[in-house]
Amino acid sequence: MEDEETELRNPFPSPPSHYTRYTNANLKLLDLLRERAGEDADLYALNQYELLSDHTDVPDWPLAQLEKPRVDWILEDGHYTVFGDTWFIKEKIPSLAELGGQQLYPTDPNVDRRPALSSILRSLLVTYSKLLNSLLLPPPTASAQIEPEWKRHLEWINVLSQNIMAAANDLRPVQARSNLELMMRRQLELRREETKAIHTKCDALEAQLAGLRLASQGVASSASPSTAKAASVHAEHLDAPPLQADDLSAVDVLSWAEEIV
């Protein structure tokens, strides 16, 4: 039994030793037993040897152990056990009283716990002072039957410390929500700063583009008439049909040269 408990608490436990009982033959016997006993019958309270007297391979352990876990029982209890650890169906932080300790502060989270915690802290300081005083007393004799005073103070300090730690653990969800709220606010601030930087950059680019447009319009308006005339003449010459060398005269060549100049 101790070996099984140790194996269950192993970080990587082996399969339970009774997994070898889930054979096809045993499962068929379980179905037959359930069929003969009825659906609503308690298999643990029945005599499986009488109901399965026509079979010689009935095991010496109850076939009811092969039944699937009762989910309704788990819901009723509110917890289940896996590998030696107890898991609650609804995730919650168990109180000190539920864990078997002596709780000195209110269980209801809606009640203000500060007065109780202040009293616990004062009691802890007073008990610590008494513990130091008891250590200065002479040790008891071997025949003394009275429990040493320092031991009682030490036990009470342990109880008070457990209450302070349990009360602090109860505040962890509140602390987690507060930290999450701060993180979300910081993310919003970062996104706002990034959005503001993007808008600022876009405004600067739009201003540069507007300056380039004005500069290009100024260059186009300040172009000389001779340049425009030369461009138009060049376009006319491009559009004109090609001339033959025999059709050109000296006067035509001189007039063309004057237009170009």
For residue 41, the Cα-to-chain-centroid distance in whole angstroms is 45
Residue 86's DSSP bridge partners are 81
What confidence tens digit (pLDDT) does each residue in 159-206 have? 999 999 988 888 888 888 999 999 999 999 999 999 999 999 999 999
Q: Which residue has the tokens 């004109």?
A: 240
What confidence tens digit (pLDDT) does each residue in 222-231 have? 654 555 555 5
CA–CA separation, 80 and 219 (whole Å): 85
* Consecutive H or E run containing 198: helix 172-221
CA–CA separation, 41 and 25 (whole Å): 22
Task: Give me 259's structure tokens.
Answer: 């237009």
Identify how many contiguous H helices and E strands the chain contains and give both numbers.
Answer: 9, 2
The pTM (predicted TM-score) of the whole model is: 0.43
What confidence tens digit (pLDDT) does each residue in 50-94 have? 888 888 888 888 888 888 877 887 888 888 877 667 788 887 777
CA–CA separation, 139 and 134 (whole Å): 9
For residue 95, the Cα-to-chain-centroid distance in whole angstroms is 23
Res. 140 pLDDT band, cuts 50 70 90: confident
